[in-house]
Structure 1
Amino acid sequence: MIDVSTVAEIIAKELKKAGVEYAFGVSGETLIPLMDAFRKTGIEFILTRHETGAGFMADAVHQLTGKPVVLLATQGPGITNLVNAAAHAFLDRSSLIVITSSIPLSQQNVVVRQNLPHEEILNPVTKYTATIRGTDAAQVVTRAIEAATSERPGPVYLNLPVDVAKSEYTGPDGFTSVTKLSFTPLGTGQFNDFTEKLRNAKRPIAIVGNGANKSSSVTREWLEKWKIPSLSTYRAKGILDESTTLSLGPIGLSKVSDQVQQSFIKQSDLILTIGFDPAEISGRWLQTPTTEVMRINIDSVPALRGYLSPHEEYVGEIGLFLQSTMPAETPSNNEWSNEELDQHRQNVKNSLAMHASIEGLSPYKLTEVLREVMPKNTIVTADTGSHRITASQVWDCYEPLTFLQSIGLATMGYALPAAIGAKFISRDSPVLCLVGDAGFEMILGELGMLKQLNLPIVIVVFADRALSRIKIDQEQEGYQVYGTEFETPEYTTIAKAYGGEGVIVRSLDEIQAAAEEALNRDVFTVIQAEIDPTEYVNQM
């Protein structure tokens, strides 16, 4: 029997044992027992302004620490408010432990108020759901943690009736954790067969995805030693230093740059996908770039057919496999020249930059200036919108997990709370939030968290007073522009009201000065960049 008195306390103890350090959410009266158990156990609860924002903060903390994080909400509106964050975590493979309270078990068959089918609501966007009882809490929690952290990771949901939370725990201990040992999944002959294919390839190319982040250092070393030029999904930016010749840039968002990348892939004679997750790219990649070339997948889970379907795949621990096939020296028959790789890198940038000469403030050039001003170790969060497509291509990452965004769900409102979560857990790293005015206003209330937690981040709002991506579609398809334009306030005033600083910029010189000043402040800064969206039409 476990030496605890309540179900809430056993839940907190099991979570703490699994490495959970933080819970983000909005409190409610039915959550009091669990919140108090968190306090006693040493799990820090961070009160946010909205459940969606809490989920995105928790996501960023998980991305940067690799540990599961709790998303906490009350019954009824609490659970409906967090569905968007859970869906993001589901498609972007984040280990969130979603816990909500619910009305007492004794009332669930008769009470209507705030009585919703919690598990049914979250079941489609979680890996595991359960309603906790007084006799199974420890085992349910350990099972949920295992589901959240196993490949591919994702959110799980625990429904906690308030009367159960307060009750004395009478059940068994949690399941004993399984020690996961590294092993060699292949025989020597299979390793030799794989490396022989690489040594015979004259123009191999790799597509690196989110799954490789867990073994980023060995992945980088392996690609460099084999001299394999690599494209990355947006979640894998920085695994290979994007300023180097072998890094060919990201894929999956911009149709313009994707066309250049797909054309280049056709020059290869061997395509490797490493940790590649189809949730990270658009349907344009359903069509395999070339059918004749050998494609090999290396991942912790089998490939999803249809997206760059492999002819062969090696399923297991990515880092172990790459370490086992690390070459002593680069194969002599590799024909990629630095000159042609550098030329392709320039071609990708030119596909977007050639349209950046406009009268107003160019989003492309604005991002270039920010990259020059901000330190190399800056963590960027980018919201969904036209600015993200441009920024994701222009901004070079030198290290992995320094460019966070919502890829699988592509939800707006992600960047600000994700920046809060990133700065909360990485106090020594500069954090830059890139957000459109529409996405900023969806989650504006979370600005209050910045003063509360003393987080001096830099927020750049790409202000064009329109849903530019949708507006472009309307114009290109011959529709009248309708329902995609809006008015905005001066965000400088709002920033100051929340305890920060604000500035409006309309030129590259002004954005440079504003960013430099923001880096030296001990409070957050909102930079309202009055951009000209004209170039977006040629970058999508």
Structure 2
Amino acid sequence: MVTGSTRTHTCAEVIARTLHETGVRFAFGHPGGEVLELIDALERTGIRFVLTGHESTAAFMAAATGRLTGTPGVCVATLGPGACNLVLGVGTAYLDRDSVLAISARTSTERHHRSNKQNLPLIDLFTPITRWSVDLEGADVEDTVKTALSVAAGPPRGPVYLSLPSDVAGKPAIGHGTLHSPLPPPADESDLPRILSALNAAERPVAVVGIAMDAARDAPAVRRFLRDTGLPYATTVQAKGTADELGDGFLGAIAPAAGEDRIIEWLQRSDCVLGIGFDPVEVSRLWHFDAPLQIVANAPVGFGTYTPPAACVGDVSALLGRIAEGYRGRCLWTADDIRYLRVRVDAVYHPSSEGGPDGMSPYHLVSALRDALPEDAVVSSDVGAHKNVMGQRWRTPEPGVFLMSNGLSSMGYGVGAAMGAAMAAPDRPVAAITGDGAFAMMVQELETIRRTGIAPLIVVLYDASLAVIKIAQQARKLPVSGVDFAPVDWVKVAEGFGIAAEAVDTPDEARDAVARWVRRRDARVLVARVDERLYTGLKY
């Protein structure tokens, strides 16, 4: 443990100590010679450095630990190509609103302005995809790292990037530079009377729950508000678990989720849409541009030329409490209306058969996986055709147990997020549900899983195709091209990495295989053959 005056310690030691004091226990990354002093300091301070096969995985793992623990996750890379490889994961954290501290090396102070070998303008590269990007040369390191962690934790949550010159890491931390960090958004409740007036005047109000809140803290208030007011409600997919998905008023998920068009029809018929933490970063459709949206969130959610008609920024739980106290409205939606909508949503993507010539129905597979996995399991969903099924079909009992990239929608996120979750929550079952296209991008991380001893279940939906892109080609009457893979024996591939694997062909086989995994909890790949033609009702 590093102790004593920070003045006698190196920059790397000060960084490590500050991170440890904040609660950081892991740093994920792929090293180069320029970050060796930092990695050594992290390890000596009690922060485990976890080698990953690719830097994007490190950032995905950091994002998942940040989302699960509330403490920013940390990822580390070397300069040049290492820093560039972080960009996908950092950009994902930016649009997914995950708290991440990304640290990379930079060329030495001696070379920085004289040699362009591996010398990229990293601050310029990361500034557009972070909440704050800082070069530590000449900076007060302890103060800067503390501020960086605070900015990453939000609100709003997001990544911060630190650039560490290779020769500064091992030198005494004597910088005194004062850096200007972004200020937290000020509370603004000026629209509260307007929101309450609109809600009280509405006859067909609907609530949409999103990610612009502290879900772990605010979920009880959200559930209480929806129960007491009786408003029907939907949720964006990253916010799943915040609202009660078994509640009488639950309509389903949107942004994106199979069958969401039926729910959007309701939103467009509504005379007041109350956005509880609603953040349009998850929305690819245009319905919210003209909707009578009244938003309460922990940070501003406007973007570019879009500004919601009314919005309050502040403590979401407190704001909902005040709205509930003044709510005197009535809701003409009936229980029969809600039940009918649910049936219509399900009918969009529920195929008539649980299997076809090439494999099982993704709908029935996801249903079997949900039945077999424990309620407390942390589940990550990757990006692909199955994401739309997962977003709608996966029942999520509480915040923080369903991980998905939806702001940037990055393929490969599912495996990395599950790895981070398995590190952060070693006592909970963790599963990733991914397609074979995304899995191929991350297959090298099976070595990381084996080496670290974590035990996630990775379910690979195998159809040898980028099915959702093929669906888009067919819908636009374009020739099918560039979307099909050659067959791969993923069981043998996984076994080659030393990971147990098996194939399943029916929902019942999948259910039994998951039940066995729950009992023994080893790292395992489950290859589930699906028939891409049974992805019904999907749009792109």
Same fold (TM over 0.5): yes
Q: After TM superposition, list the pairs within 5 Å mapping 1:307-386 onto structure 2.
A: 310-327=308-325, 333-354=330-351, 359=356, 360-386=359-385
Match of residue 71, structure 1, among 57, 69, 75: 75
Q: How far off its partner does 1:43 sit?
A: 2.4
**Deviation digits for residues 465-484 of structure 1 (CA, Å, limit 9, x no counterpart):** 01111122222323222211
Aligned-partner residue type, residue 494 of structure 2: A
Aligned-partner residue type, residue 250 of structure 1: A
**Cα 1:32–1:174, aligned 2, differ >3 Å: closer, same or farther?**
farther
Q: Compute the RMSD of aligned alpha carbons.
A: 2.8
Query: What residue is the counterpart of 1:288 in the other structure?
Result: 290
Aligned-partner residue type, residue 204 of structure 2: R
Query: What residue is the counterpart of 1:141 in the other structure?
Result: 145
Give yes or no for contact 2:206–2:233 (8 Å, CA) kept in 1: yes
**Deviation digits for residues 256-297 of structure 1 (CA, Å, limit 9, x no counterpart):** 6222012222443321011111111113335435xxxx4311
| 1:427 paired to 2:431 | no
CA distance in 1 between partners of 2:402 and 2:373 (Å): 13
Q: After TM superposition, list the pairs within 5 Å mapping 1:159-170 onto structure 2.
A: 159-170=163-174
CA distance in 1 between partners of 2:363 and 2:323 (Å): 40
CA distance in 2 between partners of 1:24 and 1:198 (Å): 46
**Deviation digits for residues 419-469 of structure 1 (CA, Å, limit 9, x no counterpart):** 111121122322221111010010111112223333222211110101111
Query: What residue is the counterpart of 1:14 in the other structure?
Result: 18
| 1:157 paired to 2:161 | yes
**Cα 1:362–1:92, aligned 2, differ >3 Å: closer, same or farther?**
same
CA distance in 2 between partners of 1:516 and 1:6 (Å): 50
Q: How far off its partner does 1:307 sit?
A: 9.7
Q: Scaled by the length of structure 1, what TM-score is found?
A: 0.91
Q: Scaled by the length of structure 2, what TM-score is found?
A: 0.91
CA distance in 2 between partners of 1:391 and 1:211 (Å): 21
Give yes or no for contact 1:472–1:537 (8 Å, CA) kept in 2: no
For structure 1, the 5+ residue unaligned runs are none
Query: What residue is the counterpart of 2:435 in the other structure?
Result: 436
Count of residue pairs the alignment pairs up: 531
Aligned-partner residue type, residue 164 of structure 2: L
CA distance in 2 between partners of 1:63 and 1:15 (Å): 17
What secondary structure does 2:91 align onto? Answer: helix
**Deviation digits for residues 278-320 of structure 1 (CA, Å, limit 9, x no counterpart):** 111113335435xxxx431111223416899533222212122
CA distance in 1 between partners of 2:424 and 2:221 (Å): 24
Give yes or no for contact 1:91–1:279 (8 Å, CA) kept in 2: yes
Aligned-partner residue type, residue 259 of structure 1: D
**Cα 1:32–1:483, aligned 2, differ >3 Å: closer, same or farther?**
same
Give yes or no for contact 1:458–1:519 (8 Å, CA) kept in 2: no
Query: What residue is the counterpart of 1:513 in the other structure?
Result: 512
| 1:223 paired to 2:220 | no
Q: How far off its partner does 1:55 sit?
A: 0.7
Give yes or no for contact 1:232–1:249 (8 Å, CA) kept in 2: yes
CA distance in 2 between partners of 1:386 and 1:455 (Å): 27
What secondary structure does 1:207 align onto? Answer: strand
**Cα 1:121–1:193, aligned 2, differ >3 Å: closer, same or farther?**
closer
**Cα 1:103–1:192, aligned 2, differ >3 Å: closer, same or farther?**
closer
Give yes or no for contact 1:2–1:172 (8 Å, CA) kept in 2: no
Query: What residue is the counterpart of 2:272 in the other structure?
Result: 270
What secondary structure does 2:312 align onto? Answer: strand
Percent identity over paired residues: 32
Q: How far off its partner does 1:505 sit?
A: 1.3
What secondary structure does 2:167 align onto? Answer: helix
For structure 2, the 5+ residue unaligned runs are none
Match of residue 260, structure 1, among 255, 259, 262: 262
Higher mean C-alpha displacement, 517-526 vs 488-497: 488-497
Query: What residue is the counterpart of 1:522 in the other structure?
Result: 521
Query: What residue is the counterpart of 1:479 in the other structure?
Result: 478
Give yes or no for contact 2:201–2:329 (8 Å, CA) kept in 1: no
